Structure 1
Amino acid sequence: MAARIDHLVTSGTFALDGGEWDVDNNVWIVGDDHEAIVIDAAHDAAAIEAALGGRTLRAIVCTHAHNDHIDAAPDLARATGAPILLHPDDLPLWLRTHPEHTPDGTLTDGQELTVAGIVLTVLHTPGHAPGAVCLYAPELGAVFTGDTLFQGGPGATGRSFSSFPTIIDSIRDRLLTLPGDTEVRTGHGDPTTIGAEAPHLDEWIKRGH
Structure 2
Amino acid sequence: MATDSSLIHDLPAITVRRIAVSEMSNNVYLLTAKKSGVQVLIDAADDAEAIRAMLAAAAADTPCAPQLRAVLTTHRHWDHVRALSAVAQGVETAAGEDDAHAVEEAQGVRIDRRLAHGDLVEYDGIGLDVIQLRGHTPGSVAFVYPVEDGPTHIFTGDSLFPGGVGKTDSDADFASLIDDVESRLFEAFPDDTVIHPGHGDPTTLGAERPQLAQWRERGW
Same fold (TM over 0.5): yes
How far apart are the structure 2 equivalents of 1:92 and 1:129? 13
The correspondence for 2:175, drawn from 165, 180, 201, is 165
Quote how far apart the aligned CAs of 1:72 are. 0.7
Structure 1: gaps (5+ residues): 12-21
Residue 127 (structure 1) aligned with residue 135 (structure 2):
yes
1:94-134 Cα distance to aligned partner (Å, 9 max, x none):
25522x32312211211112345242100011110000000
The share of aligned pairs that are identical, in percent, is 38
Distance 2:102 2:25 in 1: 20
- Partner-residue secondary structure (3-state), 1:23: coil
The alignment of Structure 1 onto Structure 2 pairs a total of residues equal to: 194
From 114, 117, 133, give the equivalent of 1:106: 114
> Residue deviations 1:72-98, cap 9 Å, x none?
1111012xx111101120135325522
Residue 41 of structure 2 aligns with which residue? 38
Contact 1:31 1:116 in 2 (8 A): no
Secondary structure of 2:91 counterpart: coil
Conserved 8 A contact 1:31-1:115? no
Q: Kindly provide the CA deviation profile for residues 156-198 of structure 1, in whole angstroms up to 9, marking residues without a partner as x.
A: 1137xx8111110110111112111001001000110011111
Q: TM-score, normalised by structure 1?
A: 0.86
* CA-based RMSD: 1.9
Runs of 4+ in 1 over 3 A off after TM superposition: none
Identify unmatched segments of 5+ residues in structure 2: 1-11, 60-65
Amino acid at match of 2:133: T
Which residue of 188, 197, 217 corresponds with 1:186? 197
Residues 1-209 of structure 1 correspond to what in structure 2 (within 5 A)? 2-11=13-22, 22-33=23-34, 34-53=37-56, 55-78=66-89, 81-95=90-104, 97-98=106-107, 100-115=108-123, 117-139=125-147, 141-158=152-169, 163-177=173-187, 178-208=189-219
Amino acid at match of 2:166: G
